[in-house]
Structure formats: C-alpha cells, structure tokens
Amino acid sequence: MNYNSQEFQDELTRIITNALREDVGDGDHSSLSCIPSTATGKARLLVKDNGVIAGLAFAKAVFQQVDPDLQVEFLMKDGDTVKYGDEAFYVSGSSQSILKAERLVLNAMQRMSAIATKTRKFVDVLKGTNTKILDTRKTTPGIRALEKWAVDIGGGVNHRFGLYDMIMLKDNHIDFAGGVVEAIEKTKQYLKDTQKDLKIIVEARSLEEIEKILSVDGVYRILIDNFNYENTKKAVALIGDKCLTESSGGITLDTAKNYADCGVDFISSGSLTHSVYNMDLSLKAMHE
C-alpha cells in the first residue's frame, strides 16, 4: 500500500467518518451543554509510556475532518522513539472540536503506537540478518489500514492487505482443491482466465509438500508453517533461490532470531496486531 496514495487517503476518510458516527452520533452533548460554541483552547498530547509513537499523521487527518480550522503543531514525527513525559503535539482552535476529536485520536494513536513499538522490537531482534518481519490479516475489523500503517511506521513490512491483492493458498485451500499441485495449477489457470496479475504464496506443512510445490512453476513465496529450526533449515536449503521463503506459526520475540538464522527471507507474526497493549497517551487542556 502506498500511504501517500489517494486510495489510502480515501480509506482514512472512511475510517474517520465511521468512527465519528459511532462516537459522536447526533452530537457531543457533554461539550455542547457546558462549553460555548465560540470558546477556543489549546491541548497537548502527553506521552505516559516508553516506545515508538505512531498515528500523528492520522491525528492530523482526524482534526482536519472534524474542523478544518483546528491548528496542529507537531513536536515529533511518526516512528520517533518516545519516553514518559514527552509531548507529541499541540492542537488549538474550537474547544468543542478538540473534544469531539479527542477520543478517536487517542484510541487510534494508542493502538498504532503499541503496534509500532512491538514491530520495532522484532526489527531490532532481526538486525544483522537478512530476514524481515511481516504482519498478517489478523487485524481489528474496520481499521486494518491503521494497523498495517503502524507496522510500516515501526519498520516492518506489510503482507497482503486483504484477500484481493495477493493469492495465499493455505491448508484448507489445498485440501479442498485435492492437493497442493492441483491448487497451484487451478490458481494459475484462474489468473490466466481473469487476466489478474497476483503473486502466489503457498503454505507448506512438510518437506514433502515443499518438494511438490517446487515441481510447479509460478510460486512467489513458500510459507514454511510451524516447522522446527532443523526442518526450517532443510526447507530453506531445498527451496534455494527458486522462490522466497517465509516462516510462521507462533514465532515470538524470543524465537524470531533463531528462525532468521535458518535463512528465511521473512517471518510473519499475527501478534504484531492482535496481541498488543495500548501505549498510554492523554490529551490535556492547556491553560495559557
């Protein structure tokens, strides 16, 4: 995904519109009841944790969509390392608008920062190897774009964005198709018939299955799923430079380096997006 593309900007607009619909409904009555519409103010984003900040550009998009007159002054950029007590930005303008945007900005930035922080830990563990960390489709429904963006900010690499932009033949596809060779051949014919240019990734459950995959041309990457270190090394040697390799299946920060040392090109981890603790951030009014 090109994060500067119009396609991505349109997706952000959809996410923000839906989130505001969910949160604001027919109005922020807490603010409408006690804060004059003409009141202006200033607030700061306070970091109350250590890690990697992510979601600053998204926060700006939220503020602009809520109220184009809001002014944001950034003190850091996405991907910066932060510590407790740091200030990330100031936002000033209509007090009602700031409060309307507050929860969406915080919810998104807390989660994005947690994902970026965890991703950076994997990136640091894999330093010195040729292996890159990939995310998965195990994301929160409706905000995948934000979570994938956070992985990118943290230094990771995005896997496919959905079912539409890459073909991934997993165990169920293979079993339903009658075998791995059959699944690949049917897929290649489908791509030819539909004139689609999509990369093919195939999951392998054994060294024997890898040999079958290698007997067919056209596979971009083999997913070496739930292999131990010894068999992963054997798989990498067997595949050679015929296609790219990816290890997956419960790989943690503690085991990632060992899999990288087996020579795989990628490691994928669903935990980047499905098992994180939100970074503690708060938006605090400033009294001038």
Give the residue numbers annotated as catalytic, written as ranges: 103, 138, 170, 203, 225
**Are the CB atoms for 199 and 166 separated by under 8 Å?**
yes
Sign of the alpha-carbon torsion through 50, 52, 53, 58: negative
Q: Quick check: 91 and 63 in contact, CB under 8 A?
A: yes
What is the distance between the alpha carbons of residues 83 and 49, in angstroms, rounded to a whole number? 6
* H or E stretch at 55: none
- Encoded tokens for 148: 């994938």
Helix count (H) and strand count (E) of the chain? 11, 12
**Residue 86 token pair:** 């740091």
